[in-house]
Amino acid sequence: MKLTARNTHRDLAYFFFGLIIAFSFSGIFLNHRQVWHPRRYTYNAQEITLKQLVTKDSVNDKFIKAFTKEFAIDDNLRRFSVDGNNLRISYENNDVQVDLATGKGKIESYRTTPVLGQMTKLHVDTSKWWIYYSDIFGIAMLVIAFTGMFIQKGENSFWSRGWKLALVGIIFPLIFLFLLS
């Protein structure tokens, strides 16, 4: 096989096809994670009532530990806070909200949506080997972009027409980056 821009572009695109698709979908999901997040999909919501009313000042580590045991939440605690009369407890797979004035609240349980949740994890994974592979992927994307410039010949080539589209493609994200954020 002869080493040409077309062959390099094609073969890298074939090799990284799966990762390109996964990053594309997971990027879209992460852009809209306030509406629906595949890594925190609610599958159960349980209404609860505290046995006795609790004051804001009595919410501490000991209370949270007792609460976790009382409501059989088998999960790792991330954090808790009290804002006014609203108690919020965040676990890895559960969120709790309780109105301290009434003692009424809700426990929401989450699970990861199969496949889609794992794809979004690719965007945030920090393991050493994944970072190396992601760096290789980033370099491959640059090679795919640059080799794509030299595939087409004639009036539709990069130098005749493509550079204008590429320039707009560079300016458009810069507008969002500097003017609209």
Domain ranges of the chain: 5-35+114-178, 41-111
Q: How confident is the model at residue 176 (pLDDT cuts 50, 70, 90)?
A: confident
Measured distance CA(57)–CA(143) in Å, rounded: 59
* Whole-prediction pTM: 0.58
Measured distance CA(107)–CA(48) in Å, rounded: 7
**120, exposed or middle or buried, with CB in 10 Å at 0-12, 13-18, 19+?**
buried
With tokens 């790792």, the residue in question is: 76
Give residue-wise pLDDT tens across range 72-99.
999 999 999 999 999 999 998 899 999 9
Give residue-wise pLDDT tens across range 5-52.
888 888 988 898 888 888 888 878 777 777 777 777 767 889 999 998
